[in-house]
Amino acid sequence: MRARRWSVAAGALGLVLMASGCGDGGGDGDQVEVFSWWTGGGEEAGLNALIERFEEDNPDIEFVNAAVAGGSGTNAQAVLEGRLQSQDPPDSFQGHAGAELQDYIEAGYLAPMDDFFDEQGLQDALPDQLVEQITYDGSVYSVPVNIHRSNVMWFNPTLLEEAGVDAPPETLDELLDALEAVAEETDAIPMAVGAQWTVSHLLESVLLGSLGGDTYNSLWEPGADWNTSEVADALSTFEQIMEHTQEESAAEDWQEAARRVSDGEAAFNIMGDWAAGYFEEVGALPGQDYDWAASPGTDGTYMWLSDSFTLPAGAPNEEAALTWLELVASQEGQDLFNPLKGSIPAREDADPERYADNPYLESALEEWQSEPELAGSFWHGVTVGNRWKNDVDTAVGLYLGDGDAEAFNDALHQAAQSE
């Protein structure tokens, strides 16, 4: 009796060991494990469309969807970090293109993809400035699949009319006048913001609008000088805009702030273009409940952020991973994914037909294909790595508490020196 119990226990242990052994994937070439944090809404729908096409084209490769839910990627990144450190990388993983991948690159977790870019003709298909901005030490490390825009100003047309503002403001000075007019003529909140990170998000659009693309981009070079009168001017504009925001902003996230615009409670909100998907979700009508323009002073500049897929060094199924990346990089793949995700393709040769039934995406694609100037979003990890980004966010948070503009400018300068 006892012997039998032992053998059962041993058998169970064996099964557990076997199961955990299987989990590794084993690198037998007939599967590909793709890691992402796309587990809901349009993101998941887009990913599923890609998976479906991949399985159709490659019936002999099993697709393993290793998506981790929660926290817009923070949970996934913690899991990923553990896997990379224990040298158990997935075959490909999602990451924001640009400096956010820097830590991984420096740690040697990523394989350079220059040959892949040449083979697939991505140097030509992607805007030159985009390739330049995702190049690190002369190499590219990820394939951008989509483009989101950070510098979008959402506004409520009815409230603007009520306040006597004829056209959406095109410069920051016009914006300040418009905010003033809204405050005087209506009961609405002039500029809606949300929790601290949305203020950081507003800051990058104000910096870009005040300084212009070149100066803005140069601010994110390590060791850049932030103690200039131009930056001080931009921050003073920022301060004036912040005076027109609602008191309770810290208790709201970006959705609540955006919704204030479409509900007619606030006149303006500056938020990335994922707000378009949110407005659609809550049933707001474009042109009526809300409308959009480039944030003031940034017309013709596209402040971008992008999801991209990587090839980890030592990926167990490199061949299959490259097949996946080929699909992700192709015009067909990007046109499958993006209409569902609510973003536009990174490639310039997308088919506008596929975006025609979404007014925002249609206008965004048109803008992207007309060769705008490109600036990277700091908040979304294009221009700076996590440490610098966190330092800026901390400076913003402290500034929200004490309102000390000088200390704020100084903290931003210090953040640039510490990299």
Partner 1 sequence: MSTAQNPSGVAHGDPGPTSAPARPPRGRRALHRARTWLPGLLLVSPSILLIGVFVYGMIGWNTRLALSDKHAPVQEGEFVGFVNFVALWQEARWPAAVANAVVFTVVFVGGALFLGWLLGLLLDKGIRGEPVFRTLFLAPMAVSFIATGVVWRWLMNPAPAERATGLNALFVHFNLDFLVNDWWTAPDFGMAAMALPAIWQLAGYIMALFLAGFRGVPEDLREAARVDGCSEWGVYRHVVMPQLRPVLLSAVIILGHMSLKVFDLIIAIAGQQIVADVPAVYMWAMVFEVRDPAKGATIASYLLFAVALFVIPYLVWTVRKERSEGR
Q: Can you give the binding site for partner 1, defined by CB under 8 A?
A: 74, 77-78, 81, 85, 103, 106-108, 187, 195-197, 246-248, 250-251, 253, 265, 386-387, 390, 394, 396-398, 400-402, 407, 411
CA atoms within 13 A on the CB side of 89: 22
Nearer to partner 1, 47 or 384 (CB): 384
- The token pair that represents 175 in the structure block: 């914006």
For 316-351, the DSSP string reads TTHHHHHHHHHHHHSHHHHHHHHHHHT-EESSTT--
What is the closest distance, in whole angstroms, from the C-beta atom of residue 334 to partner 1 in the complex?
29
Task: Give yes or no for a contact between 227 and 413, defined as CB atoms under 8 angstroms apart.
Answer: yes
Question: Is residue 32 within 8 Å of 91, Cβ to Cβ?
Answer: yes
Closer residue to partner 1 in complex, CB, 122/384: 384
Count CB-CB contacts under 10 A for residue 309: 24
CA nearest 311: which of 325, 329, 326? 325
Number of H-type helices and E-type strands within the chain: 19, 15
Nearest CB to partner 1, comparing residues 271 and 365: 271
CB of 349 to partner 1, least distance (A): 36
- The nearer residue to partner 1, 319 or 387, going by C-beta atoms, is 387
Strand partners, 205: none
Q: CA 419, CA 414: separation in Å to the nearest integer? A: 9
- Smallest distance, partner 1 to C-beta of residue 40, A: 18
For residues 51 and 57, give the distance between their C-alpha atoms in angstroms, rounded to a whole number.
10
Least distance (Å) from partner 1 to the CB of residue 419? 12
- Residue whose CB is less far from partner 1, 218 or 386: 386
Nearer of residues 288 and 390 to partner 1, judged by Cβ: 390
Nearer to partner 1, 20 or 72 (CB): 72
CB 177 within 8 A of CB 196: no
Say whether 407 sits in a helix, a strand or coil: helix
Shortest Cβ distance from residue 329 to partner 1 (Å)? 28
State the minimum distance, in angstroms, from the CB of residue 215 to partner 1: 27
Q: Return the closest-CA partner of residue 299 out of 190, 169, 180.
A: 169
Least Å from the CB of residue 169 to partner 1: 25
